[in-house]
């Protein structure tokens, strides 16, 4: 499958038209010029659009594609209405499938599978909550085990557990070589 | 049989003269106080730096003095009925309150009202009684009744005290004329850069439009031809191409065709005035397709105008200095460029009031508001027989192309009226 | 009396419960009741989980929206990330019947069904639309004589075509809320710049992420601001705890108090620094914010 077909498939939720909007890119550079990340890092939004147009699969292993904060500034301003930020999200889905997910990102994902929250509660916060007159445990998956089960069921069904390399026996990440 | 031309810019002037010279009487209806159109706001033309006034002024005077042309300024078309060869057109003719040619200008001195001067794109002020511009036709003063205190609340008549010719009792009149053909040549408006707020046009005085720069470059302009921003000559200038053109976000996906070249011309003229300034142009693609245009572009580059690929992204102020952010797309490097003056090459948009006019005439507009030609092989005809198009009202074009289309529309009108006269 | 479900997300309840307390107290004062959204999870973060697997992202987000849908209550959030996920998911499901069917097929096992009868709202909308500037002003008992640098964050306004709060280039809604408390909102260069936390950048590359934040603070420092006020728990974390991290990483200190908008409003209504949880922040409050 071509790169763009992969991105279309992974990004079906956002719509094929959204992904195919990259073909309208005229390489004006409004996106890169507006990008707060590009001012700090080596990430170049416009170049990414160019490589997507030409189907250059090397971008999947380019760590720079993970430096977009999804601030949507480029998306708002693009004169050709390329859905840049959404395309980047879908492209990262393909990269993740190819195994280019960082350990730190896998850990964040692991917490959601394990607790229902990317940033779970801790003892310190429990104390603060109490002091403020709030329930010590918030009424979320933290309090409702059956709700957590539902999140875990979704993870399994979507093979999200496999994607991030979650080991149900150890309830932790399995060892994986970082690409 | 008589003809009608609506709009007295270069396209309409050309059409009116050509039809009149073929022996037909012509009405020329102009909404503004003077004929001349946008070209009168421009000093020199690309690619050969012709002085526009040298060409435009004689054209305007020829029209004014032509025995077959009836000029109705400050007038508008209210409606049209009938068919080719036999149109009945209703026109509202608004008063000027001052006889043509009256221009001792004492009235201007005494008038207490000051408003932004439209001709100079608001860079200076004018009075409620004023001369539209130095070579306006008809010449002499006019009163702008929306700002005049006499018409607001009767509290003033100072101008009349110094000038007997002034007559506040003049009334607008509606006249009906019979014409065989109509040429529509109502021109364009520049894009409003506030629709791209990230360029901060409304925030900083140093961010100006290309049309404002034309006024600053004009020896007859508000600064006598000096380029002055915040009281000083700018030392670094950035031109930003494609503002409000090639931009779906502001519903103008089309290329405005003139801004690459007028920017090159403005950069050239600026270089002549400011030999030591840094001049940069941010562009996407260079469209220098007209006769002599690519060569002129090279001339401009040789004048050390730096062309950097990549559109202007955003503008902010760094405590005094303006900073423009963009990507140099050839280097794949985002950069920040400090500037004292940023010139936005604003695109061409349909003239305000186009939809009312289209309705009054029964002609079609495209999705942007330009009038639609019959097809690509009949580029001056409309689907309505007897109504023709010329100039920027049909789509962006430069002076030469506008004049060309004016001549073509005239030929069609002459042919049609000739057929109907026999 | 108006009733809303409150979607808490992660950062608000699990790191900055002061935001939760302040928000509910302020709303209650204006007769807006908050109901727990029992069993809600991570939203999950639109730029993070949306980048890993859009299917999982949509299903979990849709589940959260559906919990409120089944209660028959509009749901509000105190985090732009939560807003991004829930509002976008709700928008997609309302626009695309195929997605709605797919989601319902997959939520069936838990006995959930998305019908799309509710709206996802940001706390700023409740403050601005339900309560309104006029009533907020009337409720001020302790006007704040402070200068504030507003931080809108990204996902409250953008993508503007989906969010529907007008142009994202010159927003005024947060500035108006800030000024309703008697404070002055001061313009600064990078006012609309991203805090740097989103899209998984904070997790993956803390240094780059904090460089965004550092730039924002540098541009705030240039115009003498007493504190920065935000609309997003995640931005709040990035800007509050981030200052400690910036100090460790770059040796730069800003000592800028960071407040969530309802914390600022709470102060103006006479609530104490403690009951709003402001004493729990990494960056201590200065004199002007201690009540
Ligand atoms: C900054 C700038 C620089 C430029 N530089 C150059 C250059 O160097 N060389 C070049 O070739 N071109 C240049 N142009 C382009 C040039 O201005 C146009 O090509 C030209 O003005 C088009 O002529 P027109 O007659 O079609 O329209 P206009 O000049 O717009 O004239 C239209 C006339 O119709 C009148 N009108 C409008 N509506 C009505 C109505 N409803 N009823 C009656 N009258 C009406 C208007 O008042 C106006 O007088 C430049 C343009 C800009 C913005
Ligand atoms: S702003 Fe849009 S058209 Fe321009 S380079 Fe970026 S994606 Fe392409
Ligand atoms: S959304 Fe990403 S690519 Fe676009 S401007 Fe923001 S950080 Fe840059
Ligand atoms: S009557 Fe009107 S035009 Fe004459 S001086 Fe007074 S304000 Fe000016
Ligand atoms: S003529 Fe040049 S500046 Fe104008 S819209 Fe076209 S490409 Fe852009």
Length of chain C: 291
The residue whose CA has the least distance to atom 2 of ligand 3 is: A68
Whether pLDDT at B41 is above 80:
yes
Q: How many CB atoms lie within 10 A of CB B52?
A: 20
B103 pLDDT higher than 80: no
Chain C neighbors (3+ CB pairs < 8 Å): A, B
Averaged pLDDT score across all residues of chain A: 97
Dihedral sign from CA coordinates of A81, A86, A88, A91: negative
Q: Model confidence over B64-93: pLDDT tens digits?
A: 999 999 999 999 999 999 999 999 999 999
From the CB of residue B257, how many other CB atoms can be counted at a distance below 10 Å?
19
pLDDT reported for residue B318: 87
Compute how many other C-beta atoms are within 10 angstroms of the C-beta atom of residue A126.
18
* Ligand number, closest to the Cα atom of A47: 2
Distance CA C254, CA C217 (A): 7
Sheet of B278-283: strand order equals B207-209, B341-346, B236-243, B278-283, B305-309
B49 C-beta neighbours (distance < 10 Å), count: 15
**Across C148-173, average pLDDT:** 96
User: Between chains, do B310 and A38 touch, taking CB under 8 Å as contact?
Assistant: no
Average pLDDT value over all residues in chain B: 97
Q: Which two tokens stand for residue C276?
A: 């709003």
A109: nearest CA partner in chain C: C49
* Adjacent-strand bridge partners of B182: B4, B387
What structural domains does chain A harbor? 3-97 (1.10.1060.10), 103-173 (no CATH)
Binding-face residues of B in 226-245 toward C, CB within 8 A? none
B158: Cβ below 6 Å to ligand 4? yes
- Nearest chain B residue to C189 by CA distance is B316
Distance, CA B368 to ligand 2 centroid (Å)? 22
The model's confidence at residue C68, banded by pLDDT at 50, 70 and 90, is very high
Q: Is residue C119 over pLDDT 80? A: yes
Enter the tokens of residue B56. Answer: 């435009």
Taking only residues 85 to 144 of chain A, the set having a beta carbon closer than 8 angstroms to any beta carbon of chain C reads 85, 88-90, 92-93, 96, 101-102, 104-105, 107-109, 112, 116-122, 125, 128-129, 132-134, 138-141, 143-144
| Cα–Cα distance, B188 to B186 (Å, whole number) | 7
CB B126 within 8 A of CB B147: no
Q: Place C18 in a pLDDT band, splitting at 50, 70 and 90.
A: very high
Whether the Cβ atoms of residue C48 and residue A70 lie closer than 8 Å to each other: no
Q: State how far the Cα of B87 lies from the Cα of B106, in Å rounded to an integer.
A: 43
pLDDT, average across residues A99-110: 96
Instruction: Please list every protein residue whose CB sits less than 6 Å from any atom of ligand 5.
Output: B 241-242, 245-246, 255-257, 259-260, 285, 287, 345, 347
Residue A45 C-alpha to ligand 2 middle, in angstroms?
A: 8
CB atoms B332 and A79 under 8 Å: no
Please indicate if any CB of chain A lies within 8 Å of the CB of B313: yes
How far apart CA B108 and CA B267 sit, in angstroms, is: 35
Whether B204 contacts B230, CB under 8 Å: no
**Is C189 at the interface with chain B, CB within 8 A?**
yes
Q: How many CA atoms does the CB half-sphere of B184 hold within 13 Å? A: 36
Which listed ligand is nearest to B210 at the C-alpha?
A: 1
Residues B72 and B74: their CA atoms lie apart, in Å, by 7
Mean pLDDT of chain C: 97
Query: Counting beta carbons within 10 angstroms of the beta carbon of residue A28, is it exposed (0 to 12), middle (13 to 18) or buried (19 or more)?
Result: buried
- The residues facing B283 across adjacent strands are B309
CB contact under 8 A, B318 and C170: no
CB contact under 8 A, A27 and B329: yes
Task: Looking at the complex, report in whole angstroms how far the Cα of residue A117 sits from the nearest Cα belonging to chain C.
Answer: 5
Concatenated DSSP letters of C60-120: HHHHHHHHHHHHT--EEES-HHHHHHHHHHHHHHHH-HHHHHHHHHHHGGGT------S-E
Q: Is the CB of B163 under 6 A from ligand 4?
A: no
**Distance (Å) from the alpha carbon of A70 to chain C's nearest alpha carbon:** 5
**List of chain A residues whose C-beta atoms are within 8 Å of the C-beta of residue B280:** none
B46-55: long-range pairs with CB below 8 Å, 24+? B46/B261, B46/B262, B46/B264, B46/B265, B46/B290, B46/B293, B46/B296, B46/B398, B47/B261, B47/B265, B47/B290, B47/B291, B47/B292, B47/B293, B47/B295, B47/B296, B48/B292, B48/B296, B49/B265, B49/B268, B49/B269, B52/B399, B53/B135, B53/B220
Q: How confident is the model at residue A179 (pLDDT cuts 50, 70, 90)?
A: confident
pLDDT tens sequence across C162-213:
999 999 999 999 999 999 999 999 999 999 999 999 999 999 999 999 999 9
- Find the B212 Cα to ligand 3 centroid distance in Å: 33
**A50, A85, A90, A92: residue to mutate for ligand 3 pocket, most atoms within 8 A of CB:** A85
A2-31 residue pLDDT tens = 999 999 999 999 999 999 999 999 999 999
Could you state, in order of their start, the residue ranges of all structural domains in chain B?
Answer: 2-94+172-187+351-421, 106-150, 191-348
Q: What is the pLDDT of residues B252-270, one digit of tens each?
A: 999 999 999 999 999 999 9
Angle at B303 between CA B297 and CA B307, to 5 degrees: 55
**CA B44 to ligand 1 centroid distance, Å:** 14
CA angle B278, B283, B289 (to 5 degrees): 110
CB neighbourhood size of A108 (10 A): 23
Residue B422: per-residue pLDDT: 73
Q: What is the Cα–Cα distance from B43 to B38, expressed in whole angstroms?
A: 11
Q: Is the pLDDT of residue B102 over 80?
A: no
> What is the band of B105 on the pLDDT scale with cuts at 50, 70, 90?
confident
The position carrying tokens 């915040």 is: B230
**CA B65 from centre of chain:** 23
Distance between C193 CA and the closest CA of chain A, angstroms? 7
Q: Are C148 and C288 in contact (CB under 8 A)?
A: no
Over residues C40-59, the mean pLDDT reads 97
Q: What is the pLDDT of residue A106?
A: 97
pLDDT digits (tens, 9 = 90+) for A28-45: 999 999 999 999 999 999
* 3-class SS letters over chain B: CEEEEECCCHHHHHHHHHHHHCCCEEEEECCCCCCCHHHHHCCEECCCCEEHHHHHHHHHHHHHHCCCEEEECCEEEEEEEEECCEEEEEEEECCCCCCCCCCCCHHHHHCCCEEECCCCCCCCEEECEECCCCCCCCCCCEECCCCCHHHHHCCCCHHHHHCCCCCCCCCCEEEEEEECEEEECCCEEECCHHHCHHHCCCCCCCEEEHHHHHHHHCCCCCCCCCCCECCECCCEEEEEEEECCCEHHHCECCCCCCHHHHHHHHHHHHHHHCCCCEEEEEECCCCCCCCCHHHHHHHHHHCCEEEEECCEEEEEEECCEEEEEEEECCCCEEEEEEECEEEEEECEEECCCHHHHHHHHCCCECCCCCECCCECCECCECCCCCEEECHHHCCCCCHHHHHHHHHHHHHHHHHHHHHHHC
Q: Please name the member of B310, B328, B332 whose beta carbon is closest to the beta carbon of A28.
A: B310
* Ligand 2 in reach of A46 Cβ (< 6 A): yes
Compute the average pLDDT of residues B13-24: 98
On the question of a common fold for B2-94+172-187+351-421 and B191-348, the answer reads yes
Helix (H, G, I), strand (E, B) or coil at A83: coil
**Using CA of residue B392, residue B394, residue B396, residue B398, what is the dihedral sign?**
negative
Nearest CA in chain A to B244: A79
Give residue-wise pLDDT tens across range B159-183.
Answer: 999 999 999 999 999 999 999 999 9
Q: Which of A92, A107, A118 sits opposite C44 (nearest CB)?
A: A118
Q: What pLDDT was estimated at residue B421?
A: 84
Q: B337-349 burial string, b = 16+ CB within 10 Å, else e?
A: bebbbbbbbbbbb
Structure tokens at B237: 């200038």
Q: Does B171 touch chain A (CB under 8 A)?
A: no
| Enclosing H/E stretch for C36 | strand C32-36
Fold of B191-348: FAD/NAD(P)-binding domain (3.50.50)
Q: Is A166 helix (H, G, I), strand (E, B) or coil?
A: strand
State the average pLDDT over residues C231-256. Answer: 98
Per-residue CA distances from B263 to B38, B238, B339, C216 (Å): 16, 10, 17, 35
Of the residues B136, B343, B399, which should be mutated to test ligand 1's pocket, given the most ligand atoms within 8 Å of the CB?
B399
Higher pLDDT, B312 or B100: B312
Which pLDDT does position A178 carry in this prediction?
Answer: 84
Enumerate the residues of chain B whose CB falls inside 8 A of the CB of residue A33: 310-314, 325-327, 334
Kindly identify the ligand whose nearest atom is closest to the C-alpha of A40: 3
Beta bridge partners of B54: none
Structure tokens at B100: 């043509």
Here the tokens at position B23 are 């022996």
Q: How far are the Cα atoms of B210, B257, B271 from residue B295, in angstroms, in the given order?
A: 22, 17, 17
The Cα-based distances of B354 to A63, B90, B392 in angstroms read 52, 17, 12
pLDDT digits (tens, 9 = 90+) for B116-138: 999 999 999 999 999 999 999 99
What are the chain B neighbours of C222 within 8 Å (beta carbons)?
A: 319
Q: How confident is the model at residue B108 (pLDDT cuts 50, 70, 90)?
A: very high
Domain covering B2-94+172-187+351-421: architecture:
3-Layer(bba) Sandwich (3.50)
Order of strands across the sheet that contains B312-318: B312-318, B321-328, B333-339
Q: Compare CB distances from B316 to C167, C170, C189 and report the shortest one's residue.
A: C189
The residue contributing the CA closest to ligand 3 atom 4 is: A74
- What atom of ligand 1 comes closest to residue B390's alpha carbon? 26
3-state secondary structure of C3: strand
| Ligand 3 atom nearest A37 alpha carbon | 7
Give Dmax over CA atoms of chain C in angstroms.
Answer: 55
- CA neighbor of C274 nearest in space, from A131, A104, A166, B241: A131
Residue B99 has pLDDT above 90, yes or no: no
């Amino acid at each position: 499958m071509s790169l763009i077909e992969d991105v279309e498939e992974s990004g079906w939720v956002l719509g094929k038209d959204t992904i195919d909007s990259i073909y309208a890119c005229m390489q004006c550079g409004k996106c890169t010029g507006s990008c707060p990340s590009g001012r700090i890092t080596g990430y170049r939004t416009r170049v990414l659009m160019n490589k997507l147009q030409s189907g250059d699969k090397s971008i999947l292993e380019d760590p720079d594609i993970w430096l977009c904060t999804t601030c949507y500034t480029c998306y708002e301003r693009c004169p050709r209405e390329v859905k840049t930020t959404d395309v980047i999200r879908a492209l990262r889905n393909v990269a993740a499938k190819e195994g280019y997910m960082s350990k730190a990102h896998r850990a964040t994902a692991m917490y959601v599978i394990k607790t229902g929250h990317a940033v779970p509660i801790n003892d310190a916060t429990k104390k603060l909550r109490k002091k403020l007159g709030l329930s010590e445990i918030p009424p979320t998956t933290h309090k409702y085990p059956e709700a957590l089960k539902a999140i875990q069921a979704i993870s399994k069904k979507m093979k999200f557990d496999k994607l991030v390399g979650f080991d149900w026996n150890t309830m932790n990440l399995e060892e994986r070589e970082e690409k | 049989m008589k003809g009608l031309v609506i709009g007295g810019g270069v396209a309409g002037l050309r059409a009116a003269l050509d039809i009149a010279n073929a022996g037909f009487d012509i009405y020329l209806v102009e909404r503004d106080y003077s004929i001349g159109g946008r070209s009168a706001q421009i000093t020199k033309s690309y690619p050969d730096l012709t002085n526009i006034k040298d060409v435009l002024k004689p054209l305007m005077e020829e029209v004014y003095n032509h025995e077959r042309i009836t000029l109705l300024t400050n007038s508008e078309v209210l409606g049209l009925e009938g068919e080719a060869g036999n149109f009945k057109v209703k026109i509202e003719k608004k008063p000027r309150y001052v006889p043509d040619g009256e221009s001792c200008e004492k009235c201007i001195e005494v008038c207490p009202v000051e408003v932004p001067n439209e001709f100079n794109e608001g860079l200076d002020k004018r009075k409620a009684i004023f001369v539209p511009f130095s070579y306006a036709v008809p010449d002499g003063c006019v009163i702008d009744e929306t700002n005049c205190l006499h018409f607001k609340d009767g509290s003033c008549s100072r101008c009349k005290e110094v000038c007997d010719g002034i007559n506040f009792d003049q009334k607008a009149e509606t006249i009906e004329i019979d014409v065989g053909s109509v040429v529509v040549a109502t021109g364009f408006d520049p894009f409003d850069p506030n629709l791209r707020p990230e360029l901060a046009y409304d925030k900083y005085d140093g961010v100006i439009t290309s049309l404002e720069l034309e006024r600053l470059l004009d020896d007859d302009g508000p600064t006598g031809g000096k380029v002055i921003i915040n009281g000083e000559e700018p030392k670094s200038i950035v031109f930003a191409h494609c503002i409000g053109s090639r931009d779906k976000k502001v519903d103008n996906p089309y290329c405005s065709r003139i801004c690459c070249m007028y920017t090159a011309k403005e950069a050239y003229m600026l270089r002549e005035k400011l030999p030591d300034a840094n001049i940069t142009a941010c562009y996407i693609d260079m469209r220098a397709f007209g006769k002599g245009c690519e060569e002129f572009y090279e001339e401009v580059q040789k004048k050390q105008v730096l062309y950097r690929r990549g559109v202007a992204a955003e503008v902010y102020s760094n405590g005094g200095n303006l900073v423009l952010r963009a990507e140099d797309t050839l280097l794949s490097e985002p950069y920040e460029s400090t500037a004292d003056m940023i010139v936005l090459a604003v695109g061409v948009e349909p003239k305000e009031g186009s939809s009312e006019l289209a309705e009054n005439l029964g002609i079609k507009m495209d999705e942007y508001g330009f009038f639609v030609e019959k097809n690509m092989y009949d580029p001056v005809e409309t689907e309505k027989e007897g109504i023709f198009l010329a100039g920027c009202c049909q789509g962006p074009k430069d002076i030469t192309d506008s004049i060309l289309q004016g001549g073509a529309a005239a030929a069609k009108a002459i042919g049609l009226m000739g057929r109907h006269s026999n | 009396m108006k009733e809303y479900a409150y979607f808490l997300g992660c950062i608000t309840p699990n790191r900055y419960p002061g935001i939760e307390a302040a928000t509910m107290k302020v709303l209650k004062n204006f007769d807006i009741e908050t109901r727990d959204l029992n069993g809600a999870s991570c939203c999950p973060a639109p730029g993070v989980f949306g980048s890993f697997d859009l299917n999982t992202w949509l299903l979990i987000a849709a589940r959260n929206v559906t919990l409120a849908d089944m209660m028959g209550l509009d749901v509000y959030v105190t985090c732009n990330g939560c807003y991004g996920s829930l509002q976008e998911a709700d928008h997609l499901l309302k626009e695309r019947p195929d997605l709605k069917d797919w989601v319902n097929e997959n939520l069936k096992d838990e006995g959930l069904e998305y019908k799309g009868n509710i709206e996802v709202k940001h706390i700023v909308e409740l403050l601005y639309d339900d309560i309104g500037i006029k009533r907020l002003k009337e409720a001020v008992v302790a006007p704040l004589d402070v200068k504030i640098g507003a931080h809108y964050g990204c996902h409250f306004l953008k993508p503007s075509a989906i969010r529907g709060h007008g142009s994202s280039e010159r927003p005024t809604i947060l500035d108006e809320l800030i000024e309703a408390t008697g404070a002055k909102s001061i313009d600064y260069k990078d006012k609309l710049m991203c805090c740097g936390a989103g899209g998984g950048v904070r997790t993956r590359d803390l240094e780059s992420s904090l460089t965004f934040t550092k730039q924002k603070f540098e541009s705030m420092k240039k115009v003498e601001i007493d504190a920065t006020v935000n609309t997003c728990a995640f931005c709040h974390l990035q800007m509050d705890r981030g200052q400690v991290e910036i100090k460790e990483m770059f040796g730069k200190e800003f000592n800028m108090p960071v407040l969530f908008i309802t914390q600022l409003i709470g102060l103006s209504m006479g609530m104490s620094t403690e009951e709003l949880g402001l004493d729990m922040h990494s960056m201590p409050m200065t004199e002007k914010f201690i009540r």
